[in-house]
Chain A
């Protein structure tokens, strides 16, 4: 039998002290746990190898627009300041929102749980006294922070590069006295909402599918053909609500099924409600989730 040494007794006493004190309230404890999970995961999402792709995706428009400014193409469009809002709307809708934010969110959020399963590290979270719902919320926030931050920079940076590089004086007036600042903030808001909505969608896709690439591509296709869908089905998408919010509407072409844009006071709460429902379903799923790395 091992002797109970004074050190061991001190250690036990120290443990008792550590564990003593009034326990925090349940909500406070959950908030603390969400913060701790998010903090740990944010670090991973910013500094792991997986983050490199996110940086590349988020930085791509800035690099492209810088190239465009340095080496302007032989077109009259870029010589007309009035055309810039339409040009940016095209870049934002076609490249930033529908492609880069979409795939950036897919990469980050699908890996929140799927990546842990692949790395065989999810059990660390499942083996601590944390409700799995708390884990879902913490992880979701940890995905939201880098995507919002990086794609927010992309949105703001790309608009500023486009305007200020080519027309610095007009742009200064446009953003100071005109509608420029309002448009910029609206684009930024749409980007944030896109991260919120797509984040929730991809979080649950990553939970349900072992190989989420195919469902990811299917969703991409669904979002792209949104303009062709009948009005009822249009609303079963994230892009429909986001497009209703962008400050400069884009023509969707001759084959588009035209519907009235959803007002902001409906679009924003709808997206948030949709996100809440998806997170609830994800929580339900993760409560019943088993870990069997061998099956992966």
Chain B
């Protein structure tokens, strides 16, 4: 059966990718736990599969809870978590949003949070009431988990955004529960249970689009030489929906990669597929793809509106369609007021926006942007980044090249680091950082007695280096094994009764990754 094959394919992909992603990321609980040091915690038992629909293959494996990584020491903290993976139904409407629920069987105050590594958490509700209507993925990143709190028996519900569904991308994460026992009786504590239930929409659906070359942008062994000069060499890459940033120094191959994707260049060897289409078949390709190049060229005397309309007419749209699409595009880049002025009189930032409007006017699925933030003032930059996020969240493939690392870090779902025509690293920024094993992770712990903390941490091999902050209210620590280190840290904090203000990695941003992989300078502290 075709759908069964697809289902197996999807499941295999999820199972293959999810563990890698889970292993790469630092455990958020260990980061978050010190903040709740004044509470007493006991394990919150999760009974697996009690309400899980049994008829659908794969669910059991996906929601199997496994033991806490943290050893409770009587008064310490503990957590149970469930890994989940979702591939919601394609084309789900608002009422069919994929949903994951936790049935709380025991009254009492319980905290739980969900952390999505990929995908968008849309709403969190308790007993049918939405407590957090919109949750930005950025607010639910590792280390800054979304927390919900309930004091009654009932359901905790986590819903996934339908646009995430359209992307056909798997969501991965951990669903944590733990209980604050300060208001619970020992008897209730002993029997407290929770049941993880997964609504059918979350379960791998037969309708879910499989991750294939038809919904990915793929490069297979792609090389491009300009005579004897290397453009890019043996590039293997898969680009999923969302914002993917190409980062690298001048001449690293960013524009070459983009031009190859758009058919402006032909690869010397290798294959490229854009959503299953060849870059050299412009008619179907450019109905799905928009490219905003960095070349700043406009016809003389053309207004912004005329410029956009020119190329819509060339695509074969009727006059009325052209007018409507151009107006929409101008609105999206906030250029309606200047639409009928000559482009030649525009500032660089406005010209940039005109080109952007031209590239999105025909509502493409793939948007390729070569240095789109160049020349924009901070306000316009923020607006444009917001637009990119909107487009990405609408399921679009947004591929950006940029030198502005902190903005790339802020907006990108994944990054591709290029240097001298080679892909140096790719993936989610923090995942890439974790893969740089030769560079220990740097963590800043703001606490009241950093000397004590340093002394205890040095007793263990996980700690490579520790340095007290200049204001003597914090400790920089380098570790090669962050997961073990966080466990140790919790233990030390609890034992030494340290007042911890925050625990945060200081070199897992794109800037640090760039420095480590491309300039080899290392992060500053």
Contacts and interface: CB of A to CB of B under 8 A. Distances in A.
A73 B291 CA distance: 62
B393 A33 contact: no
Nearest to A126: B264
B128 interface: no
B344 to A, nearest CB: 13
A124 B282 contact: no
A197 B208 CA distance: 57
Nearest to B139: A1
Interface string A37-51: 101100110011100
A85 to B, nearest CB: 43
A1 B136 contact: yes
Nearest to A1: B136
Contact of B137 (A1, A14, A125, A128): A1
Nearest to B296: A120
Interface stretch (A187-195, A232-240, A270-278, A287-295): A287-295
A291 B264 contact: yes
Contacts, number: 118
B134 A32 contact: no
A210 interface: no
Contacts of B362: 129
B285 interface: yes
B314 A33 contact: yes
Contacts of A287: 280
A19 B312 CA distance: 12
B313 A121 contact: no
A40 B297 contact: no
Contacts of B316: 24, 29, 32-33, 36, 129-130
A124 B393 contact: no
Interface stretch (B97-105, B320-328, B372-380, B486-494): B320-328
Contact of A1 (B120, B226, B359): B120
Contacts of A32: 316
Interface in A1-58: 1-3, 8, 11-12, 14-15, 18-19, 24, 29, 32-33, 36-37, 39-40, 43-44, 47-49
Contacts of A29: 316
A130 B386 contact: no
A128 B393 contact: no
Nearest to B264: A291
A287 B282 CA distance: 10
A37 B264 contact: no
A26 to B, nearest CB: 9
A49 B300 contact: yes
A14 B327 CA distance: 11
Contacts of B363: 15, 19
B263 A129 contact: no
Nearest to A288: B266
A120 B283 CA distance: 22
Classify the secondary structure of A's interface with B.
helix
Contacts of A131: 282-283
A291 B259 contact: yes
B265 interface: yes
B299 interface: yes
A127 interface: yes
Given A1-B134, A3-B134, A295-B226, A126 B293 contact: no
A191 B187 CA distance: 104
A40 B310 contact: yes
Contacts of A132: 282
A173 interface: no
A126 B120 contact: no
Contacts of B390: 2, 8
B81 interface: no
B135 interface: yes
A272 to B, nearest CB: 27
Nearest to B324: A18
A295 B259 CA distance: 14
Nearest to B298: A121
Contact of A123 (B122, B264, B299, B332): B264
Interface in A215-229: none
A287 B290 CA distance: 19
Contacts of B296: 120
Contact of A18 (B299, B315, B321, B359): B321
Contacts of B259: 291-292
Contacts of A44: 299-300
B158 to A, nearest CB: 14
Contacts of B282: 126, 128-132
B393 A36 contact: no
Nearest to A17: B324
B321 A291 contact: no
Contact of B393 (A1, A37, A119, A127): A1
A207 to B, nearest CB: 16
A121 B297 CA distance: 6
A293 B295 contact: yes
> 5 shortest A-B CB distances, which residue pairs?
A129-B286, A121-B297, A36-B313, A120-B295, A291-B264
27 contacts: A1-B134, A1-B135, A1-B393, A2-B389, A11-B331, A14-B324, A14-B328, A24-B316, A33-B316, A39-B313, A40-B313, A119-B297, A120-B297, A121-B298, A123-B264, A123-B291, A123-B293, A123-B295, A127-B262, A127-B289, A128-B286, A129-B285, A290-B266, A291-B264, A292-B264, A292-B265, A295-B226
Interface of B: 120, 122, 134-137, 161, 226, 259, 262-266, 280, 282-287, 289-291, 293, 295-301, 310-311, 313-316, 321, 324-325, 328, 331-332, 358-359, 362-363, 386, 389-390, 393-394
Given A40-B314, A124-B311, A291-B264, 17 more contacts: A1-B120, A1-B122, A1-B134, A2-B393, A11-B331, A12-B394, A15-B328, A29-B316, A47-B301, A124-B297, A127-B289, A127-B290, A127-B359, A128-B315, A129-B286, A132-B282, A291-B259
